[in-house]
């Protein structure tokens, strides 16, 4: 019976991970606030193919982007720009548990915004819109941004300053998964209160 239990346990471990979404070999970043992805051609951005070919599609057609969670933000940014330059509409794919969904980078901000800055070493800083003061939080592993910590800090900022917009400043070398964790953590911080998040311009 003990051997049977061990075999069953090993079989369970070798099955599909219910907390990871993949498209072929691409391990997608994970998010809670997702959208239904439009249908369209698929482009995969991986560590082995950082400048993938973009298919020819009609103007205004959708191109879905499956970016591996470990690629850096500037690679995703470059691919988004390349797809847009071809007249197509890029749609970013993420996972929610083991399902594939779409993810919005930008909301429309409507007022003064909380400043939120993640760094490649797993740290992020939160500050008010009108001065340079900021509170910084570092994940214990110093490797990745902790989405739960982002939620907690943005919730505190919302309660203190009454602001529902968040302006995210990204450096080129932040991993794509940490970009998603940062944006998603801010959006999902505050229950029924809508928190709008956009990437910093300029």
The answer to whether position 7 is within a domain reads no
Cα 41 from Cα 14, distance rounded (Å): 31
Instruction: Indicate whether this model's pTM tops 0.85.
Output: yes
Q: Where is 49: in which H helix or E strand?
A: none
Per-residue model confidence (pLDDT) at position 18: 72
The answer to whether position 188 is within a domain reads yes
The answer to whether position 136 is within a domain reads yes
Per-residue model confidence (pLDDT) at position 140: 79
The answer to whether position 8 is within a domain reads no
* 92 and 118 part of one domain: no
* 155 and 84 part of one domain: no
Looking at 103, 137, 163, which one is the last position of a domain? Answer: 103
* Exposure string over 33-45, b if 16+ CB within 10 A, otherwise e: bbeebeebebbbb
The answer to whether position 30 is within a domain reads yes
The answer to whether position 6 is within a domain reads no
> What is the domain range of residue 187?
113-199
* 136 and 159 part of one domain: yes
Give the residues of the chain that fall short of pLDDT 70: 1-16, 202
* 139 and 193 part of one domain: yes
* 65 and 143 part of one domain: no
Per-residue model confidence (pLDDT) at position 143: 81
The answer to whether position 11 is within a domain reads no
Q: Which residue has the tokens 């298919």?
A: 55
The answer to whether position 81 is within a domain reads yes
Looking at 103, 138, 172, which one is the last position of a domain? Answer: 103
Per-residue model confidence (pLDDT) at position 1: 41
Tally of domains within the chain: 2
Question: Hey, is 81 helix, strand or coil?
Answer: helix
Per-residue model confidence (pLDDT) at position 71: 98
Looking at 103, 132, 154, which one is the last position of a domain? Answer: 103
* 128 and 81 part of one domain: no
* Exposure string over 57-87, b if 16+ CB within 10 A, otherwise e: beeebbbbbbbbbebbbebbbebbebbeeee
* 61 and 91 part of one domain: yes
The CATH number linked to 159 is: 3.30.420
């Amino acid at each position: 019976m003990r051997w049977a239990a061990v075999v069953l346990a090993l079989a369970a471990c070798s099955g599909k991970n219910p907390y990871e979404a993949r498209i072929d070999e691409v391990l997608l970043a994970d998010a809670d606030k997702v959208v239904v992805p439009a249908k369209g051609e698929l482009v995969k951005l991986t560590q082995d193919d950082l400048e993938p070919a973009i298919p020819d599609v009609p103007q205004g057609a959708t191109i879905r982007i499956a970016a591996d969670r470990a690629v850096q933000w500037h690679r995703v940014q470059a691919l988004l720009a390349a797809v847009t330059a071809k007249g197509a509409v890029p749609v970013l794919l993420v996972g929610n548990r083991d399902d594939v969904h779409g993810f919005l980078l930008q909301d429309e901000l409507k007022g003064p915004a909380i400043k939120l800055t993640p760094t490649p070493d797993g740290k992020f800083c939160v500050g008010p819109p009108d001065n340079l003061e900021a509170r910084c939080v570092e994940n214990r592993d110093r490797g990745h941004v902790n989405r739960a910590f982002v939620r907690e800090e943005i919730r505190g900022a919302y309660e203190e300053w009454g602001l529902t917009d968040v302006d995210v400043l990204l450096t080129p070398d932040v991993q794509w998964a940490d970009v998603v964790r940062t944006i998603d953590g801010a959006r999902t911080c505050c229950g029924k209160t809508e928190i709008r998040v956009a990437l910093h311009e300029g």
